[in-house]
Structures are given as structure tokens and as C-alpha cells.
Amino acid sequence: MAKKYTIDQINEILRRQGWSSCECKNEKHGQECIGVDTIQISVTEGSEYFGEFVGKENEFEFTLYGY
């Protein structure tokens, strides 16, 4: 079972690491998905995303790209 993260936990991870993010409403893995959001993560603003948190409300799972 994958670990679930809350928005507050995600924000704390981003703050501690100094990472940048982009939120995509109603999207899952690049496709429209009503009710599910994606928070894409990059090392710095403007760099390539290396992973994403996907979920809804306060239950997000992390996926590392390419692995």
C-alpha cells in the first residue's frame, strides 16, 4: 500500500527541500480526470518535473517519474 500525503505534508516537503511545484486541477497522469488533482514537483522553478503527487482532498500518492 502506497503512503498517503496530506496537502500540509506536501507543502512541508516542498518548503524543506526548496522544491518548486505546479498544481493541475482535474488531471491524473496528464489526462483529464474530474475530481483528481496532480501536483508536479521540480527541483527549481522552470526545471523539468521529476515526480508528482496525485490524489484528491487530503490523500495524495507520490510517483517518481521514470522509475
9-23 pLDDT tens trace: 999 999 999 999 999
State residue 17's pLDDT score.
97
Evaluate whether 13 touches 39 at the Cβ level (below 8 Å): no
21-67 pLDDT tens trace: 999 999 988 889 999 999 999 999 999 999 999 999 889 999 999 85
Evaluate whether 49 touches 41 at the Cβ level (below 8 Å): yes
Sketch the domain layout of the chain as residue ranges: 7-64
State residue 67's pLDDT score.
59
